[in-house]
Amino acid sequence: MFLPTFISNAEFQSARVRPRVFFYNGLVETTPYNVSGLNFLAGDSATTTQETTYPYVDHYTTGSVSTEFPDAGSDSLLFFNEEPVYGQTPTGSLYTEYWSKYIGLLYEPKTRLIDCSAVIPFADYVQIQLNDIIEWRGNHYHLRAVNKYNLKNGECQLELLGPILEGALDNQFTDL
């Protein structure tokens, strides 16, 4: 049995901890233990049962194939996957699944940030989304920012980032 434990010292005094999130992975067999409480149906009498399973919570989901323990394909709540208490260490962490592509773009030596001025009519401005791919002089860029957009005359400052990420054009078909 492996449990989240929130104590302030080795004497097991309770601790005020920051928010904790877990995956609930169902019941797992363990050495029998006692659970005791009042039973409404039994006239509020107390019952003690020996449970042979316990609710298993972990930083990882159960496996991508049918298993009750994590495997290589499990989801993780950690930026770096520590050794699991059961099963295998998942290959994907929060960093590899959600951040590495973004950081790869940011730190790619070829990536350039371009600051330039533009005049965009309001009717076009309101349709621009920040995930639009900007095509300019034959190159594609991510749109980082539209700053100081003047509602009077459409003048603004643009920040463009390129080259674009692989796959960024996969769903692209519309043009202004």
Partner 1 sequence: MSVVSGRSAVFKLIARGTTLDQYDDEDIFLSNNVTGLFDIGELPSDFTRQITLPGTKRNNDFFEHVYDIMVDEPYLFKTNEKVIAQFDFDGFYVAQGYMQLENVVVKENKFIDSYTVSIFGLLSSFARDLSSTYLTDLEVLGKYNHTASIDIIKETWLGDATTNPDMVTNSGSFAVGDIVYPIVDSGQGWVYQSATTANNFAINTTDANPLNVTGGSVNVIDFKPMLKTKRVVEAIFSQSQYTFESDFFEQDLFDSQYMLCDNGNKFAQYGGLDMNTEGLIVIQPISGSSVPNELLTAGASSSLDFENVISDPSLKMNGSNYKMTDNMGITGTTFSSPVEMEIFLNFIVTGSDSSVSIPELYIKPRNTGGTDAATVPLNFINDQIRRRLQGKAGTGEEEFEIEQKFSVNLKRDAEYDFEIYFEYQTGTTGAFVIIGPGGNAESTLKVNKLNYLADFRTMNVPLNMPFATKGITTLSWLQGIQKKYNLQIYPSKTKPRHFIIKQFNEWYKEGRTVSFDRYIDLNKKIKVTPANNLGVKNLEFGDTLDLDFISQNFNRTNNREYSKTYYTDTTNFFSQGSFKVETTFSSSPLRYIGGSGAIGTGAGTTGTPFYGYPGSTQSQACAGNPAFQYYHDGVGTDPVSGDRIFYNAIMTIPVTGIPWLAVDNAGYDVLKITSASGVVILVSFCDTGGGGPTS
**Interface with partner 1 in residues 42-71 (CB under 8 A):** 44, 46-48, 50-59, 61, 68
Backbone angles phi, psi at 63, to 5 degrees: -70, 165
Q: Is 4 in the site for partner 1 (CB under 8 A)?
A: yes
Among residues 73, 88, 92, 118, the one that binds partner 1 under rule CB under 8 A: 118
List, as one string, the DSSP characters of 67-79: -SS--TT--BSSS
Q: Is 73 in the site for partner 1 (CB under 8 A)?
A: no
Tokens of 106: 């940011």
Q: How many residues bind partner 1 (CB under 8 A)?
A: 128
Contacts 24+ apart (CB under 8 A), 97-100: none
Residue 59 or 71: the one with the smaller Cβ distance to partner 1 is 59
Q: Is 8 in the site for partner 1 (CB under 8 A)?
A: yes
Q: State how far the Cα of 46 lies from the Cα of 39, in Å rounded to an integer.
A: 6
Q: Is 99 in the site for partner 1 (CB under 8 A)?
A: yes
Q: State how far the Cα of 159 lies from the Cα of 154, in Å rounded to an integer.
A: 16
C-beta of 70: minimal distance to partner 1 in Å? Answer: 12
Among residues 77, 88, 89, 92, the one that binds partner 1 under rule CB under 8 A: 77
C-beta of 146: minimal distance to partner 1 in Å? Answer: 5
Q: Which of 65, 66, 53, 68 is nearest to 23 (CA)?
A: 68
Residue 38 or 72: the one with the smaller Cβ distance to partner 1 is 38
Query: Which residues ranging from 143 to 162 are in contact with partner 1 (CB under 8 A)?
Result: 143-154, 158, 161
Q: Is 91 in the site for partner 1 (CB under 8 A)?
A: no
DSSP code at position 4: -
Give how far the C-alpha of residue 108 lies from the chain's centroid of Cα atoms, to the nearest Å: 23
